Amino acid sequence: MSDIGAIRMQVMWNRLISVVEEQALALLRTAFSTSVREAGDLSAGVFDPRGQMLAQAVTGTPGHVNTMAEAVLHFMHAIPRDQMFEGDTYVTNDPWLGTGHLHDITMVSPSFLNGELVAFFACTAHVVDVGGRGFGADGKSVYEEGIQIPIMKFAEKGKVNLDLVRILRANVREPNQVVGDFYSLAACNEVGHRRLVDMMKETGLASLDGLGDFIFSRTRDAMLERIEALPKGSWSNELVTDGYDEPVKLATTVSVRDDHVEVDFTGSDPMSRWGINCPIIYSKAYACYALKCVVAPDIPNNAASLAFFTVSSPINILNAVRPAPVALRHIFGHMVPDLVLGAFSKALPGKILAEGAGALWNIHISARPVAGASGRRAEVLMFNSGGMGARPALDGLSATAFPSGVHTMPIEATEHTGPIVIWRKELRPNSGGDGEFRGGLGQVIQIEAIEGHEFDFSAMFDRVNHPAQGREGGKPGVAGVVKLDDGTKMRPKGWQHVPAGRRLILELPGGGGYGDPARRSVAARANDRSKGYITENDR
């Protein structure tokens, strides 16, 4: 390739990333669920006609991006090429073909230029309800967790499948929000398609083949260089989490080979009876994310960079098979980075952060008027984050999502969606693990139904019985607490009731510390006290 040609390819690569960013923005702007529009629980990407991911939007969360990267192949398998038409959009929420649970809707649209299939656009978002038992751990199988949409057409030649829309409306608790989100997912792919066609017309491209080769070869070379620089060998790690009613052990072996990295989950506990199982597609997404953070944080995510990581597992909680219940697959998915990074820390001592809160503290609230009273019913979903583990030269980030890439919702927006009041949402002092670098703080949240209302909530919390461990001599973070304001202890998982007038109190876990606490600087300790991050004098 000539010098000038290479520069033009690079410029088009930038343009392609900009196209998918526009695609993601369209989704944010039109979405109905707070999980998408306020919290950014979504992803968007463009694929070549072979189903290889060329580029993804920066906006989005790893669990979606890396699963969606594989989902397009399943769509191509289910819908033969001669059944694909301009104006089509395909949909599924199959946990094993999509992103791991029914609440995530994945849509794929073929993109045609002059009658030729030139690309696919895909996007995923978490909708507020899919029927069934509601978002929680209590389903005994995936059949109890909500409506299942096998891969099918949401729209054919521009016409929306209204039968699907009617079935959907009849099956979900918030039909307008859910159907509205289906429309915005389709609109988002449409925006991506329009921008791609503009780009190809302007640059005179008839296909993306040459650009794809350029993207993949540049990415491959850069990845190879990084992997060559890693120490070679195998390292194992284990981690114990709360589980539903008994602790769950997760295990991994990470092997760095000459030209790729293998992750295996042999030794993890068997599948659970409860909806906390994780399809491997989602375990893999977070394993790849963790590895990429360490190995190649600056290399774009695409089919070539992801190809350097292989993930395997016998059937177990990190490789759950149908019909296992999987609604809360994110809890163990979010623990996978701590698991994998723990193994990696043995390969790269002094370079890997301590464990953190890991799983988001999601809470789904189903509020209603008390018997006999009038008022509002509503489904409210909140994402909240505990503390991140301390880093080798920095304190952990407080109340910050990791590994998830979502935002929290403004409480003012949340209070508009349902009859609840959030009385407190602030940092939780003394919750970060001590160390030369302190773990990030968790947070405290208090929720009450508005007068004349009560609510049920689905708990999806971990690190209540098993706090985040420190690294290199750092102390563990403080475990989470779930209770009512009268002291009643609540379970970390499952649907539970909060009567009118009572407040639910959530104390989110802190991150683990890094390094010997004796080495923490006097200035850092003084700062902790003056800011009230630490309130006792016992440290």
Nearer to another protein by Cβ, of 354 and 479: the residue is 354
- Between CA 285 and CA 293, with CA 290 as vertex, the angle to 5 degrees is 120
CB of 528 to another protein, least distance (A): 10
- Between CA 220 and CA 223, with CA 222 as vertex, the angle to 5 degrees is 65
Nearer to another protein by Cβ, of 168 and 271: the residue is 168
Helices and strands (H, E) in the chain, number of each type: 11, 19
Nearer to another protein by Cβ, of 179 and 271: the residue is 179
CB of 12 to another protein, least distance (A): 9
CB of 129 to another protein, least distance (A): 12
CB of 430 to another protein, least distance (A): 14
Query: How far is the C-alpha of 120 from the C-alpha of 108, rounded, in Å?
Result: 7
Whether residue 475 contacts residue 512, with contact meaning beta carbons closer than 8 Å, is answered with: yes
- Between CA 185 and CA 194, with CA 190 as vertex, the angle to 5 degrees is 155
* Residues in contact with 13: Cβ distance below 8 Å, sequence separation at least 6, in sequence order: 55, 211, 214, 215
Nearer to another protein by Cβ, of 277 and 305: the residue is 305
Whether residue 278 contacts residue 317, with contact meaning beta carbons closer than 8 Å, is answered with: yes
* Residues in contact with 258: Cβ distance below 8 Å, sequence separation at least 6, in sequence order: 227, 228, 232
CB of 515 to another protein, least distance (A): 15
Residue 95, preceding bond cis, omega within 30 degrees?
no
Nearer to another protein by Cβ, of 245 and 451: the residue is 451
At 97, list the tokens. Answer: 């073909």
Residues 188-201: b if buried by 16+ CB within 10 A, e if exposed: bbbbbbebbbebbe
CB of 176 to another protein, least distance (A): 5
Whether residue 484 contacts residue 503, with contact meaning beta carbons closer than 8 Å, is answered with: yes
Nearer to another protein by Cβ, of 133 and 226: the residue is 226
CB of 78 to another protein, least distance (A): 26
CB of 150 to another protein, least distance (A): 24
Helix (H) or strand (E) holding 8: helix 3-30
CB of 94 to another protein, least distance (A): 25
Nearer to another protein by Cβ, of 274 and 309: the residue is 309
How do beta strands 89-92 and 159-160 pair?
A: unpaired
Q: Which residue has the tokens 């410029």?
A: 11
Cα dihedral 525/510/506/125 (nearest 10): 130
Q: Edge-to-edge strands of the sheet including 503-507?
A: 420-428, 442-449, 503-507, 481-484
Nearer to another protein by Cβ, of 75 and 402: the residue is 402
CB of 468 to another protein, least distance (A): 15
- Per DSSP (E only), the strands in 352-499 are 362-369, 378-382, 420-428, 442-449, 453-460, 481-484, 493-498
Query: How far is the C-alpha of 312 from the C-alpha of 90, rounded, in Å?
Result: 29
CB of 294 to another protein, least distance (A): 7
Residues in a beta bridge with 160: 155
Nearer to another protein by Cβ, of 21 and 434: the residue is 21
Query: How far is the C-alpha of 212 from the C-alpha of 348, rounded, in Å?
Result: 33
Nearer to another protein by Cβ, of 7 and 321: the residue is 7
CB of 265 to another protein, least distance (A): 22
Nearer to another protein by Cβ, of 82 and 298: the residue is 298
Cα(first)–Cα(last) distance of the chain, in Å?
A: 63
Nearer to another protein by Cβ, of 238 and 451: the residue is 451
CB of 379 to another protein, least distance (A): 11
Whether residue 411 contacts residue 447, with contact meaning beta carbons closer than 8 Å, is answered with: no
CB of 29 to another protein, least distance (A): 5
Residues 264-289: b if buried by 16+ CB within 10 A, e if exposed: bbebbbebbebbbbbbbbbbbbbbbb
- Between CA 138 and CA 144, with CA 140 as vertex, the angle to 5 degrees is 85
> Could you give the 3-state DSSP secondary structure of residue 453?
strand
Whether residue 294 contacts residue 392, with contact meaning beta carbons closer than 8 Å, is answered with: no
Nearer to another protein by Cβ, of 356 and 476: the residue is 356
Nearer to another protein by Cβ, of 97 and 108: the residue is 108
